[in-house]
Amino acid sequence: MNLSRKQKLIPLGLIILTATLSVAAWHNKTSDTTYPPDRLIRLHVVANSDCAADQELKRKVRDEIIRSVSPEFLKAQNILAAREIAAANLGNIKEIASREINAAGKDYSVEVRLENFTFPTKHYGPFVLPAGDYESVRVVIGSGGGANWWCVLFPPLCFVDMPRETAVDLPENFNSASSIPAPAGNAAAERTPAGTAVEKIATAEENVNDAASIDNHVQVEFRFRILDLLNKFFTS
């Protein structure tokens, strides 16, 4: 029995659809870049609790730490230098946190350590941090029972505003300790007091903007700028 033309086209259409979906899946899989945990140092700030006052205190501690240590990490040319900078600044970071805690009228203890801590997989803009142990400057305020916040100290990605997917212009010479300008955009976005844009990752306390609402040109520009920055460190 002869098959109609329509019946003959159905299998062909299914083949084309399957091939298209396979290519799309491959593209999505390869469009993200995974970077090794042993080439990164993270900053991890944990609040005393989830109450509004403790979360606000966490943000103040975070802002002051980043403002203080950012010039130092911008000098680091490799992971070894960044590790030395992190270790040398542990006392300074603890003093900063204690000062902010006292200014808020709290008597919380603060613990600052540079150790390996386990993190889940996190998609961070155009690249992926796989689950595993990462070297991290961990700041625990009080009991450490509240929502946490983190960014990447090295490479210096604490200076990227992730919700809007725009990158801060970093100095060409990373030996410079010049300040980092904040990107133009939504004034409501969190920034450090010095004007440094701070990345806001989705945690229990924060929601990132819907990626679908971001202009495609901005996404592409962000992807190449952030990958250029990462490649500077991981290929050196």
The closest of 194, 173, 197, 171 to 184, measured between CA atoms, is 197
pLDDT, one tens digit per residue, over 114-162 is 999 888 887 766 677 888 899 999 999 999 999 988 888 888 777 653 3
Question: Which has more pLDDT, 20 or 101?
Answer: 101
Q: What are phi and psi of 12, to 5 degrees?
A: -60, -40
Q: Which amino acid, residue 207?
A: N
Q: What is the pTM of this model?
A: 0.59
In 3D space, the residue among 27, 61, 30, 42 whose CA is nearest the CA of residue 146 turns out to be 61
CB neighbours (10 Å) of residue 135?
A: 21
Counting residues of the chain whose pLDDT is more than 70, the rounded percentage is 51
pLDDT confidence tier of residue 105, bands split at 50, 70 and 90: very high
Domain boundaries, the chain: 34-234
Q: Select the more confidently predicted residue: 190 or 71.
A: 71
Which of 164, 175, 179 has its CA nearest to residue 225? 164
